[in-house]
Amino acid sequence: MTIKIKVYSDYVCPFCFLAEKPLKEAIKGKDVEVEWMPFELRPYPNETLKPEGDYLQSTWKQSVYPLAERMGIAIVLPSISPQPYTHLAFEGYQYAKEKGKGNEYNDRMLRAFFQEEQDIGDIDVLTKVAGEIGLNESEYRTALERRTYKEAHQKALTHAYEEVNITAVPTFVIGNTTIGGIRSKETLEQVINEEIQKKKAAISIEGMSCHMDGC
């Protein structure tokens, strides 16, 4: 009775990074399957944001830093200017997912950017970080240089933009319930438990019928 959870996120979204902790706490001991889904907030050729700009400075001061402090999570506004595009990192994610390391890769990329200020738009950096979670660096680099997973990534983006109509991240799709924005452990647990009950109810009526001699 596995509940599937899809988390739509971008590697340059600080709230996506902060959303990991309550999610991990909420799913502990539960029969769930989590899959992180690509979403580009500012795909090329749109301009990406600059950390020295008023928007990021005020957003981090007013929202990100206070929330991270309350949650006990170390985070920093990366000094990379302008912020990197994330399509190459996401193409690498498709490779990692194929190798059974998708969620581990996702976590490592978020930490590389928001805790170590690494430029996750640079192939050298991406290759090094991928190697740190046990991926074959030579294969990984070749896949990015040849854009092997470009089509797979674009298909994932089309799914997010057009099929699921995601407009902001993080967005959680828990079973048949969609909730947007970072959520507490308690809220996530409640939705997960509700979806489990719905699934149990659906299973309990599966196959019921009446025959000529009774029900």
Q: Which two tokens stand for residue 189?
A: 């647990």
| pLDDT tens figures, 149-192 | 999 999 999 999 999 999 999 999 999 999 999 999 999 999 99
Q: How much is the pTM?
A: 0.92
Tokens (6 digits) for 123: 């192939």
Residue-wise pLDDT for 61-88, tens only, equals 999 999 999 999 999 999 999 999 999 9
Cα separation, 45 vs 56, whole angstroms: 20
The crossing angle, in degrees rounded to 10, of helices 102-114 and 123-132 is 120
Mean pLDDT of 9-18: 98
Give pLDDT tens digits for 176-188. 999 999 999 999 9
The mean per-residue pLDDT over the stretch 10-26 comes to: 98
Average pLDDT for 95-120:
98
